[in-house]
């Protein structure tokens, strides 16, 4: 009799566990939209998508990694290289570019939105190129800092209101969506650098790192103000920057050592960010 009771109890527990599986295994998000710039789209990372080719989107970018991790039913990646905050509600013409605003992908039933934006508003690519040029005459100094001074911090502050408007625009179009603002991976080490492999003067390395931290800090503050979640890849990418060994780096240098655009994330960096966002959404990470 005791054995029969034990068997029945075990069967009852197993049935209860099986009945609980469908609810827990069901996709938490069904309609996911990815917005943002080239740190989202993944230029030159295989395989490049054709929708449109001029946006340089990869099937291995962090939104694609995240969509697969979450098992979402409907995934729309409308990110585009070169995008600025103005291209969320307006058309981004030229190459990179596309014929519709990124906000056109948002729907009332969109329940997850990720966005990385603001780097092009402050002109980070041009800043890197300018600082690289100035480093040739003064590799051990800080010619970039001397040239820009506090103006880059002012650019970041000015971009804050634009990011706030973007987040308000997302909430207006997709009021029930979980919004995740994703910051930028670390580009440079804390100090020293690796001139001339990455031609940034030694004194400008911490200066530019500080600007990037200000940018991520602004994004975090705007996310908090809008009630969105903020994920900061800068925090997990120490030792994974442009000066790291080819097998360690998550962001490529001026001359890439893997298939990715210069001074942009590679496939490993994208996977790391996708896993970090998944963890922030409560999905167990498979490791990065």
Catalytic annotation, pick one of 64, 116, 201, 264 = 264
Among residues 3, 2, 24, 45, the alpha carbon closest in space to that of 270 is found at 45
Question: Of 34, 38, 64, 79, which is the active-site residue?
Answer: 38
Beta strands in 66-196 (DSSP E): 74-77, 112-116, 178-182
Question: Is 38 tagged catalytic?
Answer: yes
Bridge partner residues of 77 (DSSP) = 34
In 3-state terms, what secondary structure has residue 166?
A: helix
Element (H, E) at 229: strand 229-231
**With b meaning 16 or more CB within 10 Å and e meaning fewer, what string describes 29-51?**
bbbbbbbbbbbbbbbbbeebbee
64 catalytic, yes or no?
A: no
Count of C-beta atoms within a 10 Å radius of residue 200: 29
d(CA 55, CA 48): 9
Enzyme catalytic residues: 38, 264
């Amino acid at each position: 009799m005791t054995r029969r009771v034990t068997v029945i109890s075990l069967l009852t527990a197993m049935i209860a566990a099986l009945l609980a599986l469908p609810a827990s295994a069901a996709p938490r998000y069904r309609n996911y939209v990815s917005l943002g710039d080239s740190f989202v789209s993944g230029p030159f990372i295989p395989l490049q998508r054709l929708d449109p080719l001029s946006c340089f989107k990869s099937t291995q970018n962090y939104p694609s990694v995240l969509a697969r991790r979450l098992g979402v039913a409907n995934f729309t990646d409308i990110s585009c290289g070169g995008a600025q905050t103005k291209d969320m509600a307006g058309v981004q013409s030229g190459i990179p570019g596309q014929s519709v605003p990124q906000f056109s992908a948002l729907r009332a039933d969109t329940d997850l939105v990720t966005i990385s934006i603001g780097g092009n508003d402050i002109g980070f690519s041009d800043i890197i190129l300018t600082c690289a040029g100035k480093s040739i005459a003064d590799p051990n100094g800080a010619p970039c800092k001397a040239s820009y001074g506090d103006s880059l911090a002012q650019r970041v502050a000015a971009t804050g209101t634009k990011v706030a408007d973007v987040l308000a625009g997302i909430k207006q179009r997709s009021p029930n969506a979980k919004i995740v603002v994703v910051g930028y991976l670390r580009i440079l080490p804390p100090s020293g650098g690796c001139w001339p492999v990455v031609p940034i003067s030694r004194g400008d390395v911490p200066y530019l790192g500080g600007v990037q931290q200000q940018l991520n800090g602004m994004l975090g503050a705007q996310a908090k103000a809008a009630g969105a979640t903020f994920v900061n890849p800068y925090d997990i990418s120490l030792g994974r920057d442009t000066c790291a060994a080819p097998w360690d780096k998550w962001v490529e240098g001026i001359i890439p050592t893997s298939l990715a655009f210069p001074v942009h994330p590679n496939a490993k960096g994208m996977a790391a960010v996708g896993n970090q966002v998944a963890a922030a959404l409560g999905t167990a990470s498979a490791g990065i």
